[in-house]
Amino acid sequence: MPKKKSYNVTEAAKFLGVRRQSVLLAIKKKRLPATWGTQTVDVLLIDAKDLKAYQVNLEKQRVGKKN
């Protein structure tokens, strides 16, 4: 389980082992919930529990694919 409460897009991509663009696409398609943070620079934040749930879905999809 992730130790942080929320991740930015770059951190989420690294955690999932995918590119940033893949995370942004998942957010755009509403497969991965994200909210705008209120730091000095606005940043998309993904809740740790949502990231973990999305990771489980990705793993299920990868198992179903033929190599």
Ramachandran category for residue 30: left, alpha or beta (phi over 0 → left; psi -120 to 50 → alpha): left
Per residue in 14-65, pLDDT tens?
Answer: 999 999 999 999 999 999 999 998 766 778 999 999 999 999 988 888 777 6
Asked whether 11 and 55 are in contact (CB, 8 A), the reply is: no
Rounded to the nearest 10 degrees, what angle do helices 48-64 and 9-16 cross at?
40
pTM greater than 0.95: no
State the architecture of 6-64 in CATH terms: Orthogonal Bundle (1.10)
Helix or strand run (H / E) with residue 12: helix 9-16
Question: Within a 10 A sphere around the Cβ of 34, how many other Cβ atoms?
Answer: 23
Sketch the domain layout of the chain as residue ranges: 6-64
